[in-house]
Amino acid sequence: MNAVPVAQRGMLVAMAIGSGLSGWGAIYPQNTWLQVGPVLLALPVAFWALRRWPLSHRAAGMVTGFILLHLLAACWSYSFTPYDSWGRSLTGHSIDAAFGFRRNMFDRLIHLSFGLLMVLPFAEIGLRHGGLSRRAALSMAVLGIFAFSSIYEIFEWLLTIGLSPDQAGAYNGEQGDMYDSQKDMAMANLGAVLALPAARALLAFKRRSGS
């Protein structure tokens, strides 16, 4: 097995620290730990996987970026992330008013980010460790985003069956939208499609440069 680079060890540490900070002061602690717990359990697996199947710093950084965004949202159980207040403090203007949002949209941003940030790591895994061509690896990555986003929504539904209605609503972030799951999947899929040209260009550059 390979040694995990120092930079990527730092990314794992950042995610571990982020997990603790996310749980500290959470407004719905039970829900937050349902979202943070899997990250903590996955970190030792990620360390082992990076030794067995190395990733570039760029791909590992994208995964880390997505996880940190997820942990930020988990602190406020997604639905209550005060991004509009942050926007008002920084710019003096309301993000919700500017775009006509009638609900907290931070969960949609995270689903979009999943598609945007995970295409390259998925493609790199297929290319470096799955023996796929660049085209096949990119196709697998996009289809993988489609599949993972669907599976996650099913998992979320099954998990909330055992919660009270208030807890379930706070956890899954539907905010009264009966099509919330479909819209979340659509945002992830949109992110994957938007990220595809950039991922293709990065993989092509990596191949030409031999890095």
State residue 30's pLDDT score.
75
Domain boundaries in the chain? 6-209
Say if residues 202 and 58 touch (Cβ distance below 8 Å). Answer: yes
The pair phi, psi for residue 24, each rounded to 5°, is -80, 120
pLDDT at 34: 82
- Between 175 and 186, residue with greater pLDDT: 186
What is the phi/psi pair of residue 91, to 5°? -120, -15
**Angstrom distances, CA of residue 201 to CA of 51, 65, 134, 163:** 26, 20, 11, 44
| pLDDT score of 87 | 93
139 vs 64: CA distance, rounded Å: 22
Q: Give the model's pLDDT for residue 170.
A: 66
pTM of the model: 0.91
| pLDDT tier, 98 (very low <50, low <70, confident <90, very high otherwise) | very high
Q: What is the mean pLDDT of the chain?
A: 90
Please give the average per-residue pLDDT across 17-44, as a whole number. 88
